[in-house]
Structure 1
Amino acid sequence: MNKEINKALEVLKDGGIILYPTDTVWGIGCDATNTEAVKKVYQLKEREDSKALICLVADDRMLKKYIKEVPESALNIIDITDRPTTIIYDDAQNLADNLIADDGSIAIRIPDDEFCYQLSRKLNGAIVSTSANISGQPTPKSFKEISQEVLKGVDYIVNLHHEKICDKPSSIIKLSNNGVVKIIRK
C-alpha cells in the first residue's frame, strides 16, 4: 500500500488527478487546494463547476483547517455514525475557489479507510472525492464498471481493491451555522 500512496501523492502534488478506492465508491480525486486540478476533475466528469464536490480529510484537526468554525454537533455526528457520512459545512476556507459552493459551503468526509487516511495525511491536506463516472451516468459499484472515458482521463489509477464492490455512496447532512440540520442523502 505504501508504494501506491507514494505514487498517488506524487501525482496529486504535480496537479494531476487520480482514480482511487474510498470508504464508499471508487473516486476521482485531486489536491483540493489546486484550482487547475479541480478544473480537470470537472472537465473529466463533464460537470458544471457550480455543482460542488466532496473532499476527504484525515481527521478532525485537518477538518478545522478548511472550516472557519466546525459545529460541535458535527464532531458528535462523526463520532457516533456507523456508516460513511459527508457533512456540508458553512464558511469553507483554504480550498480551491472552484471547489466551494456559491453559498460558501463545502462537503467534507473523514473516511474510515486506511488508504484515504494515509494519502490525506501525507499530502497534509484535503483530497477531492467525486464518484468515478461522467455526470448523469450511474455510479460504478465496482472497478469493472468504471467507463473507459474515466479510466483514460485520469493521470494515475491506484492499484488497490480492484475487486471491491461498493453498494452505496455516503449519506450527506448539511449543518448550517444557524443550527439547522438538513438530510440531503440518506
Structure 2
Amino acid sequence: MQTEINNALKVVKEGGIILYPTDTVWGIGCDATNPEAVKKIYGLKQREDSKALICLVADDRMLKNHVSQIPKAAQDIIEVSEKPTTIIYDKAKNLASNLIAEDGSIAIRIPDDDFCYWLTRRLNGALVSTSANISGQPTPKSFKEISPDILNGVDYVVNLHREKICDKPSSIIKISNNGVFKIIRE
C-alpha cells in the first residue's frame, strides 16, 4: 500500500488526477486546493462546475482547516454513524474556489479507509472524491464497471482493492451552522 500512496501522492501534488478506491465507491480525486486539477475532474466527468464535489479529509483537525465551523450535530453524526456519511458544511475555506458550492458550502467526509486516510495525511489536506463515472451515468459498483473514458482520462490508477464490490455511495447530510439539517442522500 505504501508504494501506491507514494505514487498517488506524487501525481496529486503535481496537479494530476487519480482513480482510487474509497470506503464507498471508486473515486476520481485531486488536490482540493488546486483549481486547475478540479477543473480537469469536471471536464473528465462532463459535469457542470456549478455542481459541487465531495472532499475527503483524514480527521477533525483537517476538517477544521476547511470549514469555518463544525456544528455540534455534525460532530455527533460523525461519532455515531455506522455507515459512510458525507456532511455538507457552511462556509468552506482553504479550498479551490471552483470546488465550493455557490452558497459557500462544501461536502466533506472522513473516510474509514486506510489508503484514503494515509493519502490525505501525507497530502496534509483535502482530496477531491467524486464517483468514477461520467455525469448522469450509473455509479460503478466495481473497478470492472469503470468506463474506459474514465480509466484513460486520469493520470494514475491506484492498484489496490480492485476486487471490491461497493453497494452504494455515502449518505449526504447538509448541516447548517444554525443547526438546521437536511438529508440529501440516504
Same fold (TM over 0.5): yes
- Tell me the CA shift for residue 26 of structure 1: 0.1
Deviations 1:25-66 (A, max 9, x none): 000000000000000000000001000000000000100000
Q: CA deviation at 1:24?
A: 0.1
| Residue in 2 that maps onto 1:24 | 24
1:129 aligned residue: 129
Q: Which deviations, in whole Å up to 9, do the C-alpha atoms of 1:90-111 show, x marking residues without a partner?
A: 0000000000000000000000
Structure 2 counterparts to residues 23-172 of structure 1, below 5 A: 23-172=23-172
SS at match of 2:129: strand
TM-score, normalised to structure 2's length? Answer: 0.99
> Scaled by the length of structure 1, what TM-score is found?
0.99
Amino acid at match of 1:91: K
Task: Give the counterpart letter for 1:155 in structure 2.
Answer: D
Q: Which amino acid aligns with 2:74?
A: A
Structure-1 residue corresponding to 2:7: 7
Counterpart for residue 179 of structure 1: 179
AA paired with 2:37?
A
Report the secondary structure of 1:58's partner residue: coil
CA–CA distance in 1 between the matches of 2:72 and 2:2? 34
- Provide the rounded CA distance (Å) in 2 between the counterparts of 1:120 and 1:133: 22
State how far apart, in whole Å, the 2-side matches of 1:49 and 1:70 are: 25
Letter in 2 for 1:51: K
Extract unaligned runs of 5+ from structure 2: none
Secondary structure at the residue paired with 1:108? Answer: strand
Q: Which amino acid aligns with 1:105?
A: S
**For structure 1, which runs of at least 5 residues remain unmatched after alignment?**
none
Distance 1:75 1:61 in 2: 12
Counterpart CA distance in 1 for 2:167 and 2:21 is 13
SS of the residue aligned with 1:62? helix
One-letter amino acid of the structure 1 residue matched with residue 11 of structure 2: V
Query: Which amino acid is the alignment partner of residue 20 of structure 1?
Result: Y
Q: What is the Cα deviation at residue 75 of structure 1?
A: 1.0
Question: Partners of 2:73 and 2:149 in 1: how far apart?
Answer: 40
Q: Residue by residue, what CA displacement relative to the aligned partner does 1:146-166 show, whole Å, maximum 9, x if unpaired?
A: 000000000000000010000
**CA separation in 2, counterparts of 1:73 and 1:182?**
12
| Structure 1 runs (4+) greater than 3 angstroms displaced | none
One-letter code aligned to 2:32: A
